[in-house]
Amino acid sequence: MADAAPVKIDSSFAAVTYDCGNQSPIRVVGQGSTITLNGSCGEVDVSGAANTVNLQAVVVINATGAGSHITWERGPAGGVPRISNPGHNNDIRGPGGLQLG
C-alpha cells in the first residue's frame, strides 16, 4: 500500500505513488514527474509543469500549470469529474482516452 498523499506534492523529475486518503485538495507542483494517486481523491490541483499525473478516482481536477498529462479512471458516482483547465497545453484524458478539459 502506498503512503498517504501529502497536501502538497512537490517533486521534480521523480516517480512517486501515493494513496489519496482523505486529503483534499491535493496540490501537485514541481516539474517533470510521474505522480500516481490511488484511491478516491477529492480535488486535485496540478500547477506544476510537464508532469504526468495518474488519478484512480477524482471529483475535481484543476489544471493550472503547463504541459502536464493528466489521466483519470473514475469520477464521482462513476461519472465524469469536474474539470477546470485554465493552464496551457495540458492534456486531460479519461477512460479509453476520452479527452476532456
Dist CA 88 CA 66 (whole Å): 5
pLDDT tens by residue, 42-94: 999 999 999 999 999 999 999 999 999 999 999 998 899 999 999 999 999 99
Stated pTM of the model: 0.90
* Cβ-count burial 38-63 (b if 16+ within 10 Å, e if not): bbbbebbbbbbbbbebebbbbbbbbb
